[in-house]
Structure 1
């Protein structure tokens, strides 16, 4: 399974927290990111090959994962 991470999430987590609004936004972003990471871990623990990557990294990682699966006889 391939899941695309949002660049906006990465950007938000890199921003400095300067006020209450920033703190609330960053906290909500962290909560969202934690839920995504938990879901990916659950999928992987169920034996589902899962990619969770930024769009610019998808093509290379998808190709490498396909080749790994093919060479191991899984597909």
Structure 2
């Protein structure tokens, strides 16, 4: 008999401009499938996004980098099992 322990993390992000929500971001990262992470991006305010797309894209890239950091940590740690 063995116990398999799986770890996952959910990240939520928001890109706001002058207090107005422009984009929401969500990522689900699992140690089982690190590197095959689910990331969802929703543009909430199309006009605000269009007017500030470079800034929004920078923030989306920052979010993606954080996802990569967690994926890498999960890969380095490996799947933990106990028997």
Q: TM-score range by the shorter chain?
A: 0.3 to 0.5
Which structure features the higher share of helix residues?
1
TM-score (norm 2): 0.40
TM-score (norm 1): 0.43
